[in-house]
Amino acid sequence: MPLSLAKRLDVVQPSVTLAMNARAAELRATGVDVFAFGVGEPDFDPPSFVLEAARNALAPGAKPGVSKYTAVTGIPALKEAICKKTAHARGWTPKPSQVTVTVGAKHALFNLALALYEPGDEVVIPAPYWVSYPEQVKMFGAEPVPVPTTEATGFKMTPDSFAKVLGPKTKAVILCTPSNPTGSAYDESELRALVEVWKTKSEAYLIVDEIYADLVYDFPHVSAATLAPDARDRIIIVDGVSKSYAMTGWRIGWSIAPERIAKALDTVQGQSTTNATAIAQQAALAALTGPQDEVAAMRDAFMKRRSVMVDALNTVPGITCRRPEGAFYAFADCRGLYGLPYKGKPIATDEEVAFFLLDEAHVAAVPGGAFGAPGYVRFSYATSPERIVAGVASIKAAVARARG
Ligand code: PMP
Ligand code: GLU
């Protein structure tokens, strides 16, 4: 018998978003034209000057040392650019010593989990939540405490529902706005009310995942760090280039944390990955410091696609979909499809809906249960309007066939 695996993994689920992506890729490899509404990944290329910066870093005679180990927490120029972006977007200039450049924002969250959570700690996570939050908390023996929200409140916490879950064991709160998976975003007054509750009722850290901050369509994005200047010693911002600059595979994210925590993250990373890839850091630097018009164009394209996806989904009998304020996800109530025949049985779960969509409509989408919201399915609209229209038409046809 092989020796056992570490027990800490017994409670951890694999990433369902990535699993659905892998299943769609398998189907695609057999020649099927799969509609990619599964993984949250822009279909655009990064801006051309980003690619050029990476090529320049690799070119013969490139700056000496450009592709060697960098400082563990990132090259100074990138950290400086992150601070400038923060000043511009959030009206607050952190110090470069607060920044840790990581291998994607997921890695920033993982490093934070390793540095902060331990058995006995609770981490408050509004539901629906992004799949990796609770699993990372569990990996370190702490307890995720979901705060249920409903479509009736726009999948947003109310100050009352938030206050109820904060307690002496709360080590951190993870807030994602705009949200993956629902696309919901807090406006300034809603967020201010929550920040007040957190500040007055809790000693916990507030981790704000702002990876979709450039993608709010109905009002300006506001950061908790902007609203609570007196509590920045407890606020940690997580961000990255994956979504705004269409750079998912480049794996560059970062955290901006109080210096005491940033020092701990330096130690964690210095004993694990060392620096994020040097070439990718050069590319991220170009992304942040270059012209931002392509980012604005991608944002406008996502905004148009939002209407295309939501309007189309709402024409499918059995599916209803709220209009989200941001990100690139439509989070649809699919309980109206329950009862349709699939593989000789009536559909009874969101997971079965997702498999039905994949097998019968060749649409990859992620079941809501993985996000703590059974009955729903997440459709990413980070793909062309033509594909969105054709994919939803394929769903409609599959549903009509199943209804007989
Ligand atoms: N946070 C949220 C809410 C996400 O949706 C994602 C992934 N799409 C990440 C963090 C991680 O992003 P990455 O690791 O690609 O930077
Ligand atoms: N976060 C993206 C998603 O939710 C990418 C996949 C992942 O990192 O889990 O689809």
**Domains of the chain, CATH where assigned:** 7-45+294-403 (3.90.1150.10), 48-289 (3.40.640.10)
Ligand 2 contact via 17 beta carbon (within 6 Å): yes
Over residues 12-32, the pLDDT tens digits come to 988 888 888 888 899 999 999
**Pairing outcome for strands 99-102 and 253-256:** antiparallel
**Pairing outcome for strands 205-209 and 170-176:** parallel
The CA distances from residue 53 to 77, 248, 274, 284, in Å, are: 14, 17, 22, 9
Estimate to the nearest angstrom the gap between the alpha carbon of 19 and the chain centroid: 16
Distance CA 145, CA 129 (A): 11
Residue located via tokens 């993984």? 39
Q: What percent of the chain has pLDDT over 90?
A: 94
Confidence check: pLDDT of 390 > 90: yes
Distance CA 277, CA 55 (A): 14
The reported pLDDT for the residue numbered 18 is 85
Provide CB contacts within 8 A for 318, sequence distance 6+.
Answer: 334, 336, 337, 340, 399
Ligand 2 contact via 79 beta carbon (within 6 Å): no
Confidence check: pLDDT of 304 > 90: yes
Q: Whose CA is nearest to atom 8 of ligand 1?
A: 40
The CA distances from residue 222 to 105, 118, 191, 288, 386, in Å, are: 19, 30, 8, 19, 32
Q: For ligand 1, which residues put their CB under 6 angstroms from it?
A: 40, 104-106, 130, 176, 180, 209, 211, 240, 242, 248, 253
- As a whole number, mean pLDDT of residues 183-195 equals 98
Distance 40 CA to ligand 2 centre (A): 5
The reported pLDDT for the residue numbered 1 is 84
Ligand 1: which of 243, 329, 366 to mutate, judged by most atoms within 8 Å of the beta carbon? Answer: 243
pTM for this one?
0.96
Containing H/E element for 399?
helix 385-403
Over residues 318-360, the pLDDT tens digits come to 999 999 999 999 999 999 999 999 999 999 999 999 999 999 9
Q: How confident is the model at residue 60 (pLDDT cuts 50, 70, 90)?
A: confident
The reported pLDDT for the residue numbered 258 is 98
Nearest atom of ligand 1 to the alpha carbon of 105 = 16
The reported pLDDT for the residue numbered 332 is 98
Residue located via tokens 């993608």? 215
Distance CA 116, CA 99 (A): 16
The CA distances from residue 90 to 179, 239, 266, 300, in Å, are: 18, 12, 24, 21
Provide CB contacts within 8 A for 355, sequence distance 6+.
Answer: 342
Query: Average per-residue pLDDT in the chain?
Result: 96
Q: How confident is the model at residue 180 (pLDDT cuts 50, 70, 90)?
A: very high
**Pairing outcome for strands 122-127 and 35-36:** unpaired
The reported pLDDT for the residue numbered 139 is 96
For the CA atoms of the chain, what is the radius of gyration? 21
Residue 30 burial by CB count (10 A; 0-12/13-18/19+): exposed, middle or buried?
exposed
| Of 18-32, 76-90, 198-212, 346-360, the least confident | 18-32
* DSSP code per residue over 23-50: HHHHHHHTT---EE-SS---SSPPPHHH
- As a whole number, mean pLDDT of residues 183-192 equals 98
- As a whole number, mean pLDDT of residues 304-331 equals 98
